[in-house]
Amino acid sequence: MAEAEKKEELEEKEENLEIDPKQQEIDEITDRYKRVLAEFENHKKRSQKERDNLYNIILTDIIGNMLPILDNLENAVKVETKDEEFKKGIELVLKQFQDTLKSKGVEEIKTIGQTFDPELHEAVSSIQDETKGEKEIVQEYRKGYKIGTKVIRHSMVVVAN
């Protein structure tokens, strides 16, 4: 019986030896698969981030080029005219333009009454006025705009004190 048990043990060891290389190969293939999958996921994330950055750069550039048109429309609305229908038409175009910019995340930078921030504002002049706070913006020459935290165009302002 001892011989039969030894023979049985040897057969089990041989089977285990045959299974071990196959299991090892399966483990290696599984490991490679997991690594390739992780690399692919990282590539997808990186590509999406690059696309988003490119979109934001292009959007910022296009909107930056359109801001002088917006300025001109705002100035046209301020001009007195006898033709009220013409003025209403200009106001409608201005409103549509502003709504379109707003839908793309464009915001006007707040100025008058705010504290001067060189990240958002460009000081073109300063005045002494004791009734105003230190570095308080008192006048705006040109509106500034931003998308999120990215400034498209700085506001041109006059700062007190």
pLDDT for 3-40, tens place per residue? 777 777 777 766 655 567 888 899 999 999 999 999 99
What token pair was written down for 151?
A: 């400034």
Q: 107-161 belongs to which homologous superfamily?
A: Head domain of nucleotide exchange factor GrpE (2.30.22.10)
CB-based contacts of 42-46 (< 8 A; 24+ apart in sequence): none
Burial (0-12, 13-18, 19+ Cβ within 10 Å), 117: middle
pLDDT for 84-120, tens place per residue? 999 999 999 999 999 999 999 999 999 999 999 999 9
Q: Are 161 and 135 in contact (CB under 8 A)?
A: yes
Rg (CA), the chain: 34
Instruction: Domain ranges for the chain, please list them.
Output: 107-161
Considering only 2-16, 54-68, 94-108, 134-148, which range has the smallest mean pLDDT? 2-16
Burial 13-43 (b: 16+ CB within 10 A, else e): eeeeeeeeeeeeeeeeeeeeeeeeeeeeeee
Q: What is the pLDDT of residue 5?
A: 77
